[in-house]
Amino acid sequence: ASLETAVAGALTVTVLNTMYRALTDSPRGASPDTILASLLQTEKYTNLMGPGNTTGLAFRPRDEFGKQYDLGMANTSGISFNGCDWVKIRGLTNTELYMMDMASGFDILMQRDLTVKPLAEVNDDQAWQISHAFIPVVSNRRKHGKLTGLST
Q: Looking at residue 79, what is its pLDDT?
A: 78
Could you tell me the pLDDT band of residue 64, with boundaries at 50, 70 and 90? Answer: low
Model pLDDT, residue 19? 92
**Distance, CA of 43 to CA of 39 (rounded, Å):** 6
**pLDDT over 70 at 41, yes or no:** yes
The number of C-alpha atoms within 13 Å of 56 and in the hemisphere containing its C-beta is: 0
Which of 63, 58, 142 shows the shortest CA–CA distance to 99?
Answer: 142
Among residues 32, 39, 1, which one has the least CA distance to residue 16?
32
Question: What confidence tens digit (pLDDT) does each residue in 96-150 have?
Answer: 999 999 888 788 888 989 999 988 777 777 888 899 999 888 888 888 999 999 9
pTM, entire model: 0.69
Q: What is the mean pLDDT of residues 40-48?
A: 80
